[in-house]
Structure 1
Amino acid sequence: MYFNEEKVKAIGTRFEGGKLAKKVHKSIEQLKRHDPDVEVSSEPTQFLLVSNSSILCSVTLEELEEIFIPLDEKAEFIVYPNKRSYSFVQCSSIEAAQTVRQELHGLIPPQLKISHQPFIISFVCNLPEAKKCEMFRPADLKLVEDYVSENLENDLVELLTNHSKVQSLKHRAVVHFGHVFDYNTNSASEWKEAEPIPPVIEALVDRLISDKYITERPDQITANVYEPGHGIPSHYDTHSAFDDPIISISLLSDVVMEFKDGANSARIAPVLLKARSLCLIQGESRYRWKHGIVNRKYDVDPRTNRVVPRKTRVSLTLRKIRQKPCECQWKEFCDWDRKGEMSVPSSEDLAMKLENSYVSNVYENIASHFDETRHSSWKAVKKFIDEIPRGSLMYDVGCGNGKYLIPKDGLFKIGCDMCLGLCEIATKKDCHVARCDALSLPFRDTSADAAISIAVLHHIATFERRKRMIEELLRVVKRGGMICVTVWSMDQSQSEYAKMRSNKDEVNEEIKNTDRLKIHDGKDFQQQDVLVPWTMDQKGETFLRYYHVFREGEAEQLVESVDGCKLVSIEKEQGNYIIVIRKI
């Protein structure tokens, strides 16, 4: 088929011939890997597989609608929030599907704002089977469908939508009962009363207690009215402000609530809240997971991946104001610092306790998985080692799985690590390893020609202890000996992982350090002392490692505070500072 220049500009770029055939083959192979229950059809059907059309490919649902609806106004979509490069389109008839494929197959539609990949379209016999909703729920979350009758729904909606004290917020309208919810502190004060709780809601509370979903009466009620397209930002209901559980009643419309694991922001659980359902956000789902509703006019049903338009929705949130400090087991996610236990350490004892819990113990648990993921060397570190005269003795302090000890490069190398599991792994690789603390090395004074310490210093919790580690490295090398130390940089913008992060915003230059340790969410660092998640691939367990990430200029200040050494160089490599110093 031939297209003149004017028509090509109007409809976009089209692929044809052998190149298109290769893309079709690749598309079908991807389908077999991810959705083996879907069968490709050699005959036209009303079901279409459309490759290069997913959110993963930067194609939005709005763009899909703009492209497909003019060709079939009754087309329905099955889309994937992640992990798929394709979508499915269910056309209103086989004839409509044939027209759609004829118009769009091999084409890069001009409506696409970001993607520049052609749509590769194949007929399929069937669509993916619905999935079990349980796959998407965080632990302890409880859903009860049809908990509210239609009559009660009508009574509640009439009360809430026509109430005289309804307030308008940015993305929704709200009204409070019992006590006012303070959006600045995400809490409620028992001294700041709101409208009395209406009898119809009190009767609902009586039933919740009778059904043993709760044991105490909520005293803070928030009603929200959401118009299509409106949502609420991802958040925790403040630990110290409210008891467990948080109760949510959905009215009028289904909605998908997204739960995000506080220890792994890439782990998202979309949960369908059906109209007239009860949702108990309790236990782990309350204390560890954030929850929110994305601002958009549609939802993707997590069971079927079908796109569902939103309608006006009313929700009722019932909370009990907490009277004593939170003592939940998810202390890392809690705003109550447990008498300083979760604060940035200010003393030697607290620093040692923190390092033991969130460095030493963690590495013992992840040692095997760590070994599976750590093989490549930093270029600057390899260059440093290559410049050490052959026949020299080099110490590797914090040697991990021994990756810098293994190469046969003409050096005598001895490693050490605090983690017994990593020491055992390195020993099995024929490395010479001792188990010890980096602040108390078992080596004689001036016994080595050089030393390296890769990704260790940032696990040390106070300035004085970091200074002592540098002094200990200097102690064990000869005069004139060279030392290479690496630490994480606060600015990760040049890291190869930066493009993989979900946050595309510019680096926040105004960093706000707090006294409270926070969990790093995989985006830009917001403070220097953080707990960084490590997720085990197979088991799915998540461990939190303590890091002190370095500001620009901080490494120089640390080296300058130590006597008997000279800073040779500091360079940046993939979000790490590579620090080289000489003993003088």
Structure 2
Amino acid sequence: MKSVTSAVVDNDDPQAYEDQHVHAVYDHIASHFSSTRYKPWPIIAAFLDSLPTGWIGLDSGTGNGKYLPLPAERPGSVLTIGMDRSWNLLQIAKHAGSGPGLPITREIVRGDVLGNGWRDGAFDYAISIATIHHLASHQRRQLAVQRLLQCVSPAHGRVLIYVWAVEQDDLSKRTCGSGGLDVFVPWVMSQQTTAHTKTRQPTREPASTQKDALPADVSVYNRYYHMFAEGELTKLVEEAAEGMGLIVGPLTIDATNKLGCEIIRDGWERSNYYIELRRWIS
């Protein structure tokens, strides 16, 4: 089990805090991390399989790009562009789904989930899987949701978001204890694993390494997470949508010249909270 520890967020400079406790860490562990992230989660796979043929979407915080080849049942029916801050993970995502004798190149771009590099409504859909929980303030998490809502079509855009939950199931490798919502989650790498890492190393060492009480050939990289409580993700989305002037709820027959966002479903799955949204215009 991986016991999390409480994290004290630097409210004066959350960007620098994330650079140190999220981005630098993922660049270090990219290859090892990717080797453990290969099986798509069922609800996400079903969401992508439900999309109309010809739609184009964004995977915001794509990591190793494991969702870029989907849907498996209708290969090539939609095009998902992967975006991430980690250069090392993007190099893996670029060839997600490739096999021996089957080289595949994916559409990827290096960017920030808080950036505004797209015109409004550029995509038909967007997914954000296990990413927003790495943002170190409520305001930054809210902005990330707004960027997702902005980048999809106001008439039919669909959005799916996943974040880690405080409530962990029996199969989880994480134990939250009483550490609070802002935590460090350890990633353990041995020197043997590191020696086989082929990705480019970052220019800065992550500050949160703990080697005490561990074998000499093991390093622990602590990643920052905001673990979401029950109802928190839904409230965050509602605040983000209302902050954009959107009506939160389904399209009604008496709505005219309005923009809205409907919550299709939300819930808890395997230690994660998720929410699916649909944009509408009247």
Task: Give the TM-score category using the shorter length.
Answer: 0.7 to 0.9
Structure 2 counterparts to residues 303-452 of structure 1, below 5 A: 343-347=8-12, 350-407=13-70, 408-429=75-96, 430-452=105-127
Partner of residue 490, structure 1: 166
Distance 1:265 1:574, change over 3 A: closer
Task: Give the aligned residue type for 2:31.
Answer: S
Distance 1:372 1:469, change over 3 A: same
Larger Rg, first or second structure (1 or 2): 1
Task: Give the aligned residue type for 1:416.
Answer: M
User: Which residue of 526, 530, 544 corresponds with 2:222?
Assistant: 544
Q: Give the percent of matched residue pairs that are identical in Structure 1 and Structure 2.
A: 35
Distance in 2 (CA, whole Å) between partners of 1:579 and 1:420 is 28
Distance in 1 (CA, whole Å) between partners of 2:176 and 2:233 is 22
Q: TM-score, normalised by structure 2?
A: 0.74
Partner SS state of residue 117, structure 2: coil
Partner of residue 206, structure 2: none
Partner SS state of residue 19, structure 2: helix
Distance in 2 (CA, whole Å) between partners of 1:525 and 1:404 is 33
Structure 2 residue 179 is matched with structure 1 residue 526: yes
Structure 2 residue 135 is matched with structure 1 residue 460: yes
Q: Is the 8 A contact 2:3 2:185 kept in 1?
A: no
Structure 2 counterparts to residues 89-488 of structure 1, below 5 A: 343-347=8-12, 350-407=13-70, 408-429=75-96, 430-479=105-154, 480-488=156-164
Partner SS state of residue 153, structure 2: strand
Distance in 2 (CA, whole Å) between partners of 1:491 and 1:463 is 19
Q: Is the 8 A contact 2:153 2:279 kept in 1?
A: yes
Shift of 1:583: 2.0
Shift of 1:453: 0.7
Q: Is the 8 A contact 1:399 1:415 kept in 2?
A: yes
Distance in 1 (CA, whole Å) between partners of 2:229 and 2:151 is 28
Structure 2 residue 252 is matched with structure 1 residue 576: no
Task: Give the aligned residue type for 1:456.
Answer: T
Q: Is the 8 A contact 1:345 1:462 kept in 2?
A: no
Shift of 1:444: 2.1
Task: Give the aligned residue type for 2:275.
Answer: I
Distance 1:420 1:364, change over 3 A: same
Distance in 1 (CA, whole Å) between partners of 2:231 and 2:10 is 22
Q: Is the 8 A contact 1:451 1:483 kept in 2?
A: yes
Task: Give the aligned residue type for 2:50.
Answer: E
Query: Using CA pairs below 8 Å that are at least 6 residues apart, which structure has the higher relative contact order?
Result: 2
Distance 1:558 1:264, change over 3 A: closer
Shift of 1:396: 0.5
Shift of 1:571: 1.7
Distance in 2 (CA, whole Å) between partners of 1:371 and 1:525 is 29
Structure 2 counterparts to residues 23-38 of structure 1, below 5 A: none
Partner of residue 249, structure 2: none
Paired residue total: 224
Q: TM-score, normalised by structure 1?
A: 0.37
Q: Is the 8 A contact 1:264 1:535 kept in 2?
A: no
Shift of 1:354: 1.1
Distance in 2 (CA, whole Å) between partners of 1:264 and 1:465 is 27
Shift of 1:523: 4.6
In structure 2, the gaps of 5 or more residues are: 97-104, 195-217, 247-260
Partner SS state of residue 404, structure 1: coil
Partner of residue 252, structure 2: none
Task: Give the aligned residue type for 2:21.
Answer: Y
Shift of 1:579: 1.1
User: RMSD over aligned Cα, in angstroms?
Assistant: 2.2
